[in-house]
A and B are shown apart, each in its own frame.
Chain A
Amino acid sequence: MRQLAQLLKAGEISSQELVQRCLEQISKTDGEINAFITVDEQGALEQAAQSDERRAKGQTLSPWDGIPVAIKDNISTLGLRTTCGSRFLRNYRPVYDATVVERLQGAGLPILGKTNLDEFAMGSSTEYSAFGVTKNPYDTSRVAGGSSGGSAAAVAAGQAPWALGTDTGGSIRQPASFCGVVGLKPTYGRVSRYGVVALAPSLDQVGPMARTVEDAAILFSLIAGADPRDATSTGSPPFALPRWDPEVVRGLRVGVPEEFFSSGLHAEVEGAVRRALRRLEEQGAVLQPISLAGNEYAIDTYLTLVTAEASSCLARFDGVRYGERVPAADSNTMFAKSRGAGFGPEVKRRIMLGTYVLSASHYEAYYEQAQRVRTLIKLEVARAFEQVDVLITPTTPSTAFRIGEKRNPLEMYLSDLYTATANLSGVCALSLPCGWDSQGLPIGLQIMGNHFQEELVFQVARVVEASVERGAKGAV
Chain B
Amino acid sequence: MQYDVVIGLEIHVALLTDSKFLCSCSTAFGAPPNTQCCPVCLGLPGALPVVNEKAVEYAVKAGLALNCQVHHFSRFDRKNYFYPDLPKAYQITQDTYPLCTNGCLEYYVDDQLQRTAITRLHLEEEAGKLIHSGSSIVDSEYSLVDYNRAGIPLIEIVTAPDITSPRQARLFLEQLRLVMRYIGVSDVKMEEGSLRCDANISLKPQGSPILGTKVEIKNLNSFRALERALEYEVSRQSMVLDRGGKIKQESRTWDERAGKTLPMRSKGDAPDYRYFPEPDLPPLLLDPLWVEQIRASLPELPLERLARLEREYGLSRYEATFLVNYPDFGELFLELAVPGGDNTAVINLLMGEYAGLAREHGHLEPRRIAELLRIVDEGLITHGQSKAVLEELFHSVLSPREIVRAKGWEVLRDEGQLRAAIRQVLADHPEILARYRAGEEKLWGFFMGQVMRAVEGKADPKLVNRLLTEELGSLI
Note whether A and B contact each other (Cβ less than 8 A). Answer: yes
Interface residues of A (CB under 8 A from B): 75-76, 82, 84, 89, 92, 94-96, 98, 193-198, 200-202, 228-232, 308-309, 311-312, 315-318, 320-322, 331-332, 335, 355, 358-360, 363, 367
Residues A316 and B276 in contact, CB atoms below 8 Å apart: no
Chain A nearest CB from B270 CB (Å) reads 9
Residues B80 and A231 in contact, CB atoms below 8 Å apart: no
Residues A201 and B279 in contact, CB atoms below 8 Å apart: yes
B31 is an interface residue with CB less than 8 A from chain A: no
Residues A98 and B84 in contact, CB atoms below 8 Å apart: no
B467 is an interface residue with CB less than 8 A from chain A: no
Interface residues of B (CB under 8 A from A): 39, 42-51, 78, 80, 82, 84, 87-90, 143, 145, 147, 272-276, 279-282
**Can you list 22 A-B contacts with CB-CB less than 8 angstroms, sorted by A residue number?**
A76-B44, A96-B44, A194-B46, A194-B47, A194-B48, A195-B39, A195-B47, A197-B45, A198-B280, A231-B51, A231-B280, A231-B281, A231-B282, A232-B280, A315-B82, A315-B88, A316-B45, A316-B88, A318-B82, A321-B44, A321-B87, A335-B82
B279 partner residues in chain A, CB cutoff 8 A: 200-202, 232, 309
Known: A308-B276, A355-B274. 18 other contacts (CB 8 A): A76-B44, A76-B46, A89-B45, A193-B46, A193-B48, A195-B47, A197-B45, A201-B279, A231-B282, A232-B279, A309-B276, A315-B82, A318-B84, A320-B87, A321-B43, A321-B147, A360-B274, A363-B275
Q: How far is the CA of A298 from the CA of B350 in the complex (A)?
A: 73
Chain B nearest CB from A122 CB (Å) reads 14
Known: A231-B50, A358-B276, A367-B276. A316 touches B281 (CB 8 A): no
Question: Contact check: which of A194, A201, A321, A359 meets B272 at CB < 8 Å?
Answer: A359
Residues B44 and A312 in contact, CB atoms below 8 Å apart: no
List the count of A-B residue pairs having beta carbons below 8 Å apart.
103
A311 partner residues in chain B, CB cutoff 8 A: 80, 274
A194 partner residues in chain B, CB cutoff 8 A: 46-48
Residues A197 and B46 in contact, CB atoms below 8 Å apart: yes
Q: How far is the CA of A318 from the CA of B275 in the complex (A)?
A: 19
Q: How far is the CA of A324 from the CA of B43 in the complex (A)?
A: 16
Known: A95-B39, A95-B44, A315-B89. A232 touches B274 (CB 8 A): no
Give 4 nearest A-B pairs by CB, closest first.
Answer: A315-B89, A358-B274, A201-B279, A202-B279
The chain A residue with its CB closest to the CB of B88 is A316
Interface of A is mostly: loop
A193 partner residues in chain B, CB cutoff 8 A: 46, 48
Q: How far is the CA of A311 from the CA of B273 in the complex (A)?
A: 12
A96 partner residues in chain B, CB cutoff 8 A: 39, 44
Chain B nearest CB from A458 CB (Å) reads 27
The chain A residue with its CB closest to the CB of B42 is A321
Residues B46 and A359 in contact, CB atoms below 8 Å apart: no
Residues A360 and B272 in contact, CB atoms below 8 Å apart: yes
Pick from B45, B82, B88, B272 the residue with the most CB of A within 10 Å: B45
Chain B nearest CB from A393 CB (Å) reads 26
Residues B46 and A231 in contact, CB atoms below 8 Å apart: no
Residues B84 and A331 in contact, CB atoms below 8 Å apart: yes
Question: Contact check: which of B44, B48, B88, B275 meets A230 at CB < 8 Å?
Answer: B48
Chain A nearest CB from B378 CB (Å) reads 63
Residues A201 and B89 in contact, CB atoms below 8 Å apart: no
Residues B48 and A231 in contact, CB atoms below 8 Å apart: yes
A82 partner residues in chain B, CB cutoff 8 A: 45
Q: How far is the CA of A195 from the CA of B87 in the complex (A)?
A: 16
Q: How far is the CA of A96 from the CA of B45 in the complex (A)?
A: 10
Residues B45 and A76 in contact, CB atoms below 8 Å apart: yes
Residues A201 and B280 in contact, CB atoms below 8 Å apart: yes
Q: How far is the CA of A321 from the CA of B51 in the complex (A)?
A: 24
Chain A nearest CB from B214 CB (Å) reads 19
Q: How far is the CA of A332 from the CA of B90 in the complex (A)?
A: 15
Q: How far is the CA of A308 from the CA of B43 in the complex (A)?
A: 18
A98 partner residues in chain B, CB cutoff 8 A: 46
A322 partner residues in chain B, CB cutoff 8 A: 44-45
Q: How far is the CA of A318 from the CA of B89 in the complex (A)?
A: 8
Residues B43 and A312 in contact, CB atoms below 8 Å apart: no
Q: How far is the CA of A344 from the CA of B46 in the complex (A)?
A: 20
B78 partner residues in chain A, CB cutoff 8 A: 312
B90 partner residues in chain A, CB cutoff 8 A: 312, 315
